[in-house]
A and B are shown apart, each in its own frame.
Chain A
Amino acid sequence: MRQTPSQTVGPYFAYGLTPEQYLYDFKSLVGNEMVSPLDHDRAITIVGKVFDGQGVVISDAMIEIWQNDGQNQLFGRFGTGTDAESRFIFHTIKPASVNGQAPYLSVIIFMRGQQIHSYTRIYFSDETDLNTKDAVLSLVPEDRRDTLIAKNKGNIYEFNIYMQGENETVFFDI
C-alpha cells in the first residue's frame, strides 16, 4: 500500500488544532503547558521565532514538541499567531540524557507554504560536554550545528528557526 500524501496545514488550522490559544469556543486537546512550571525543579521555558527566506517572522506556523527520555513522555503544541512578537513559547521540563546522548527535544514545524512538515531538534547550550560527544550532532556539518542549540539565560532557552538562508536550521529526514 502507498502512503497517503502530505498536504500543507494551510493558514486556517487555529480553530481546529489550537482553538483555546486563539480564543475559539472549542476545547484544546493540547497546549504549550507541557508541565506545570511550578511543579518541577527541571522546569524550562522554550521561546523562539520562525523566519522565512526573506527574514520575515512567520506568524502562521504551528510548532509541536515531542519529548521522551524514558521517564517523561510529553507533547506540546503552539501556534505563532497570538504572541505580539509572533513567538512560540513552551513550558516543559528539561529531558534527561539517555544512554550518554545529549538531551534534546523533537520539534515538528507546520505552516502554510510547507507541503510536508519539517523535523528538527532542540539541544541545550548548557550541555557542552554531551553535545560535543553526541552521535547525532556529529552527523551535522560543524558549521551548522549551532542552529540546533538553544541558548539559555537561566532556565529560559531561546531557539529560533530559519527556514532558508545562511543560517537555515538543520532539518532531519527521519
Chain B
Amino acid sequence: MSQIIYNSFDREVHPAYLTPEYKSTIYRAPQKPLVLLKQSLSELTGPVFGDFNVGPLDHDLTKNTVKNGEPIGERIIVHGKVMNENGYPVPNTLIEIWQANSAGRYVHKVDQHEAPLDPNFLGAGRCMTDSDGNYKFYTIKPGAYPWGNHYNAWRPNHIHFSLFGANITNRLVTQMYFPGDPLLDYDPVFLSVPPKGRELLICKFDLGATEPSFALGYRFDFVLRGYKQTPFETL
C-alpha cells in the first residue's frame, strides 16, 4: 500500500511573497510563517470541471467578443501542454486567460492608460486541455503598458493564465512572456522570479504551429506540482 503526497511549491523557482521592488507586495505579503498542512480529502480533490460550460468560441479571443469587425493587432496562436512534475499530462483541466489588447489597454475599468480600447476585443478566453493535456488559444499579441510602480515603469507584453490541475495543490495563476522582450530586464514582477525560474515563463516562437498567411505560433508548456508515492505508515 502507498499514499500520494503532493510536492510543495518549489521555492527555487517561485517568487517570494515579499519582493519590495514590486511595491504592492509590501502591505499584502503574509509575514508570519505558514502552517504546514497534512493533505486531506479537500486538498486532494478539485472542482468538477464537467460543470463548467466552456463555449465553442471561448478559446478564440479574435472571435469570442466581436461586435462589428475583427480585432486590431497581430494574430497569434498560443498552444502547449499541461503536465505535472512527474511528466504526466494533465487532461481535461480548465485554463483561463486574460490580457491587454494590441495597444496595451485592458478593458478593466480601473485601467487608466490612455490607449484605445478595441470594440472587437475583450481579451478574455478559456479552454479545457484535451485527453493528452494539450491546449490552444487564438488571440492578438498584447501590447506593453505603463504602470505606477516606479518612474517610467512598463509591463512587458504578457498573457495572464489561470490553471486548476488535479486538485487544490495544483492551482496556478501566472503570466506568460514573449521571447526577446527588452522590458523583461526592468520588470519587478518578472524579476521577482528567481533566475532559475525566469526562462520557464517565456514562451517559444513555434514555426511549426504558425498558420501560413494567418497567425504566428508560440508554444508555452506548463508544469504543475507533482507528487511522491510513499508507503503507508502503519501505526
Contacts and interface: CB of A to CB of B under 8 A. Distances in A.
Given A98-B41, A164-B31, A12 B9 contact: no
B122 A26 contact: yes
A173 B10 contact: no
A4 B174 contact: yes
A67 interface: yes
A6 interface: yes
Contacts, number: 229
Nearest to A11: B110
Contacts of A5: 13-15, 174, 193, 197-198, 200-201
B94 A29 contact: yes
A138 to B, nearest CB: 11
Contacts of B34: 171-173
B45 A116 contact: no
Contact of B173 (A15, A110, A174): A110
Contacts of B222: 4
Contact of A114 (B29, B48, B124, B200): B29
A17 interface: yes
A68 interface: yes
B132 interface: no
Interface SS, B side: loop
Given A6-B173, A16-B123, A113-B29, A29 B42 contact: no
Contacts of B171: 108, 117
A173 B13 contact: no
A15 B9 CA distance: 28
A41 to B, nearest CB: 22
Nearest to B196: A2
Contacts of A29: 52-54, 94, 96, 126
B208 interface: no
A98 B44 CA distance: 14
A8 B201 CA distance: 13
Q: Bin the interface of chain A by size.
A: 35 or more
B9 A19 contact: no
A118 B175 CA distance: 17
B189 interface: yes
A14 B30 CA distance: 23
Interface in A1-38: 1-17, 19, 24-27, 29-30
A9 B30 CA distance: 16
B45 A68 contact: yes
B1 interface: no
Interface stretch (A50-58, A83-91, A152-160): A50-58
Interface stretch (B20-28, B71-79, B227-235): B20-28
Given A29-B52, A29-B94, A136-B37, A115 B43 contact: no
Given A16-B160, A163-B27, A164-B29, 11 more contacts: A1-B87, A2-B10, A3-B224, A7-B160, A10-B175, A12-B100, A12-B160, A15-B108, A70-B41, A104-B42, A173-B36
Interface of A: 1-17, 19, 24-27, 29-30, 52-54, 56, 58, 60, 66-70, 73, 75, 98, 101, 104, 106, 108, 110-119, 135-136, 139-140, 144, 163-164, 168-174
11 contacts: A7-B190, A9-B173, A16-B123, A25-B65, A25-B122, A26-B64, A53-B27, A54-B27, A66-B42, A68-B42, A70-B41
